[in-house]
A and B are shown apart, each in its own frame.
Chain A
C-alpha cells in the first residue's frame, strides 16, 4: 500500500509519511514556490516536480534520492512558427509554454520516457528523463485542434494522459476543452474518441461535437484497461470501450459537477468523485465536503462524509488533487483552501491532516 504522498501546493511540495494510521508532513521542497504537480516514476523511483513560477515560467525538477536533492531538467518548448488557434473566437497567437498540466511515465519497457501535456495544447515526449523534449506533431498538426477551447485557462490544455498498462503505445489523452484523443501506435497517429459525451451549455448543433468536450479529468482502471471514467464539465461519463463510446452516468450524488475522479485499480465498477455545486458556484453542496462513491459502475452512489467537515466548508478539489494507491484501499485528497484528508478504507472514514497547507493543486502516492 502507498505509504508516501506527494502534495503539490501553491507554496511548495510537501512529502507526507504514515505515522501509525495518521499521516504527517515528513519533509518539504520548494517552500514558497508554486508547485503545479508531481510525478513519482514507478520504474526508477525518481520524483519530478513541475514548478509554475509566476515570474520565470514553468520549470521541471527531478530528485533521484527521495526529495533530498533536486536538479533542474529541461521543459517543453514551442517553435517560432507554432500557433494557437482556438474554436472560441480568440485571435490566433504564437504558442508558448504556459503550463505543464500533465506529466506521466511511459511504459515499463520504455525506460526514460515521459509524456507531458501542456497548455496551450501540445503533447511532448521525452526519452531521456526530461533532459530534452519533443512536440508530438502528429497531434499538434491535426486540423481539429483549431476547434478546441480553453477551459478554465485561456488556451486548451492536456491535463490527463493514460498509458495503457498492457501496451505503452496505447495512450488516451483528455483535453480541456478538446475531448478525448487516442493513439495505439505510440503517437504516430491519433483519433478523437469523445463520441457520446455532450456539452449541455453549447448551442444545440454543437452540443455533441467531440472536439469541444470539456473533460475535467480522465482515469483508467489498471486491471481492466478498457474501462475509463471521466469527470466532465457537465457530468460524469464512463467508457467500457477503451476510451471511446462514452455513456453518461447521471446519478452522481449530491451533484454531477466536479473536477476529480479516481477509479479502483482492480475494480472498474468502483470510482470516487468530489462534487461541487456547479460551474458558476464551485463550492461543496450545502457547505459540506463529501465524496461520492459508486461500486456498481455508476448505477448508484454512496455519499461518504465520515470525518469530513459538514458545516461551513468551502473546499474545492481540483482535477489532480484526488489520489488512490495501488491497493485501492487508500485515498487522499486536498483542497484549494488547504484542507487535506486521507482514508484507509476506500473512503468509509476520513482523517484530516494535522496541518494547514497552502492551496493544493495535485496529490499523488509515491
Chain B
C-alpha cells in the first residue's frame, strides 16, 4: 500500500476531484512497485495518465515523481520497488513563465 499525493496543479484537471481545484489529492493505493501504484491511481482518475505520462509511458519531462522524498531515477520506466507505506508525490517540475 502506498500513499499517493497528487499536487493541486494536477488535481484541478480531474473531474473526479469534485470541484476542489486548489487542493492536493491524497489517495491510498495498493501495490509494491511504482507502476502498479500509478496504474491504481490512473484507474481511479482515468484522464490523469496523459498528464503524468506521455503516449510511450515515459514520465513527462516537466513532471516530477518523488518516492519517500527522493526523485525517481528512471523516468522512462517508472517501475521501481516501493517499501511498505511508501509516500509517492506526483507534482509539476518548476518552469518559467
Binding site for B on A (CB under 8 A): 53-57, 59, 71-72, 75, 77-78, 80, 94, 96-97
Q: Which of B1-25 contact A (CB under 8 A)?
A: 9-10, 13, 15
CA distance A135 to B51 in the complex (A): 21
CA distance A263 to B56 in the complex (A): 40
CA distance A77 to B55 in the complex (A): 6
B55 touches A55 (CB 8 A): no
Given the interface pairs A72-B47, A75-B50, A77-B55, the reply to whether A57 lies near B13 with Cβ below 8 Å is no
- 17 A-B residue pairings within 8 Å (CB atoms): A55-B51, A55-B63, A55-B93, A56-B13, A56-B52, A56-B63, A56-B92, A57-B50, A57-B54, A72-B15, A78-B55, A78-B56, A94-B56, A96-B55, A96-B56, A97-B54, A97-B55
Contacts of B95 in A (CB 8 A): 54-55
Closest to A10 in B: B97
By CB atoms of chain B within 10 A, which of A57, A71, A96 has the most?
Answer: A57
Contact among A55, A77, A96 for B62, CB-based, below 8 A:
A55
Q: Is B85 engaged at the interface, CB distance under 8 Å to the other chain? A: no
Contact among A54, A59, A72, A96 for B54, CB-based, below 8 A:
A96
Contacts of B15 in A (CB 8 A): 71-72
Closest to B95 in A: A54
Closest to B7 in A: A55
Closest to A76 in B: B55
Q: Is B33 engaged at the interface, CB distance under 8 Å to the other chain? A: no
Contact among B9, B60, B93, B97 for A57, CB-based, below 8 A:
B60
Contact among A53, A59, A80 for B56, CB-based, below 8 A:
A80
By CB atoms of chain A within 10 A, which of B10, B47, B50, B92 has the most?
Answer: B50
B54 touches A55 (CB 8 A): no
Contacts of B13 in A (CB 8 A): 56, 59, 72
CA distance A55 to B95 in the complex (A): 8
CA distance A59 to B51 in the complex (A): 9
Chain B interface, number of residues (Cβ within 8 angstroms): 18
Chain B's nearest CB lies how many Å from the CB of A121?
A: 15
**Number of CB contacts from chain A to chain B under 8 A:** 42
Given the interface pairs A94-B56, A96-B56, the reply to whether A56 lies near B47 with Cβ below 8 Å is no
CA distance A289 to B43 in the complex (A): 52
CA distance A140 to B20 in the complex (A): 42
B62 touches A54 (CB 8 A): yes
CA distance A53 to B60 in the complex (A): 11
CA distance A96 to B52 in the complex (A): 14
Chain B's nearest CB lies how many Å from the CB of A253?
A: 36
Chain B's nearest CB lies how many Å from the CB of A94?
A: 6
CA distance A54 to B10 in the complex (A): 12
Contacts of B60 in A (CB 8 A): 55-57
CA distance A55 to B54 in the complex (A): 11
Contacts of A77 in B (CB 8 A): 55
CA distance A72 to B50 in the complex (A): 11
B50 touches A55 (CB 8 A): no
CA distance A198 to B4 in the complex (A): 55
Given the interface pairs A94-B56, A96-B54, A97-B55, the reply to whether A55 lies near B9 with Cβ below 8 Å is yes
Closest to B64 in A: A55
Closest to A77 in B: B55
Not counting A54-B95, A56-B92, a sample of 15 additional A-B residue pairs whose C-beta atoms are within 8 angstroms of each other reads A55-B63, A55-B92, A56-B10, A56-B52, A56-B63, A57-B54, A57-B60, A72-B13, A75-B50, A78-B55, A80-B56, A96-B55, A96-B56, A97-B54, A97-B55
Contacts of B63 in A (CB 8 A): 55-56
Closest to B10 in A: A56
Contacts of A94 in B (CB 8 A): 56
Chain B's nearest CB lies how many Å from the CB of A335?
A: 18
Chain A's nearest CB lies how many Å from the CB of B54?
A: 5
CA distance A77 to B15 in the complex (A): 22
CA distance A268 to B60 in the complex (A): 45
CA distance A97 to B50 in the complex (A): 11
CA distance A163 to B54 in the complex (A): 30
Contacts of B47 in A (CB 8 A): 72
Closest to B91 in A: A55
Contacts of A54 in B (CB 8 A): 62, 95, 97
Contacts of A59 in B (CB 8 A): 13, 50
